[in-house]
């Protein structure tokens, strides 16, 4: 009787092993990206033709404006950098996405994202007009676009070039082509402002 029970237990165990082997393997969870958020010393804004407007962290030390914030001054561009030194040993990343949420108040104009081709170990006012950049992309923000516009840019190639060059920072500049060249002919605000805490670089190793 004991022998019959033992055989039955072995048969049941074998059935369970075979059944589990036939089940599809669970998919591995997707690797989460590492989010790099710049600090106050890693962001700044100002005007190309009025360097006295240069402010680390932006207007009031916390508000990055790109365009014509008001009738008295101009902050037609912002510069920012992301620390990528942790990826220098690897020398390359699979993906890098720059993301930001902006609140538009624009007449309808074109903005341009540039990448600095030289390392910015410290941000300075000269970065507002530096020619040491390459164009990433231009994009239009139409009049009447509501607040909370989410922008996303694939900057994998730019970040990898920085890593290959041994840079510890990847730096970018966002500017209003209209405000820099024409100014403010309507004497009224026209800009996009970066919502606090939304500027980030997501790295997939």
- Which tens digits make up the pLDDT trace of 91-109? 999 999 999 999 998 888 8
Quick check: is 167 in a domain? Answer: yes
Where residue 145 sits, what CATH number does that domain have? 2.60.120
Q: What is the mean pLDDT of the chain?
A: 82
pLDDT at residue 137, rounded to an integer: 97
Domain extent for 78? 32-204
Residue 4 maps to a domain: no
The answer, yes or no, to whether residue 172 has pLDDT greater than 50, is: yes
Q: Which of 174, 205, 176 is nearest to 36 (CA)?
A: 205
- Looking up tokens 């900057």 gives 155
Give the predicted TM-score (pTM) of the model. Answer: 0.80
Rounded to whole angstroms, how far apart are CA atoms 26 and 68?
Answer: 53
Specify if 37 maps to a domain. yes
Q: Dump pLDDT digits (tens) for 29-48.
A: 334 689 999 998 999 998 88
As for how many domains the chain has, the answer is 1
Q: What local confidence, expressed as pLDDT, does residue 18 receive?
A: 35
Mean pLDDT of 124-132: 94
Q: Is the pLDDT of residue 26 over 70?
A: no
> What local confidence, expressed as pLDDT, does residue 10 receive?
38
- Would you place residue 70 in the very low, low, confident or very high pLDDT band (cuts 50, 70, 90)? low
Question: Higher model confidence: residue 9 or residue 173?
Answer: 173
Tell me if 14 is assigned to some domain.
Answer: no
């Amino acid at each position: 009787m004991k022998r019959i029970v033992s055989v039955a237990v072995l048969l049941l165990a074998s059935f369970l092993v075979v059944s589990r082997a036939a089940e599809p393997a669970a998919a591995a969870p997707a690797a989460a990206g590492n989010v790099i958020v710049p600090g106050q010393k890693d962001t700044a804004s100002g005007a190309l033709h009025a360097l006295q407007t240069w402010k680390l962290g932006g207007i009031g030390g916390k508000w990055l404006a790109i365009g014509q914030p008001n009738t008295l001054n101009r902050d037609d561009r912002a510069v920012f950098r992301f620390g990528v030194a942790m990826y220098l040993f690897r020398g390359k990343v699979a993906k890098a996405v720059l993301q930001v949420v902006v609140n538009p108040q624009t007449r309808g104009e074109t903005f341009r994202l540039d990448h600095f081709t030289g390392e910015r170990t410290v941000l300075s006012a000269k970065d507002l007009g530096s020619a040491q950049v390459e164009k990433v992309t231009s994009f239009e923000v139409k009049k009447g676009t509501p607040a909370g516009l989410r922008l996303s840019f694939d900057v994998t190639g730019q970040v990898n070039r920085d890593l290959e060059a041994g840079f510890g920072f990847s730096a970018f500049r966002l500017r209003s082509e209209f405000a820099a060249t024409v100014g403010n002919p309507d004497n009224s605000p026209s800009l996009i402002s970066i919502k606090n805490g939304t500027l980030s670089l997501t790295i997939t190793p």
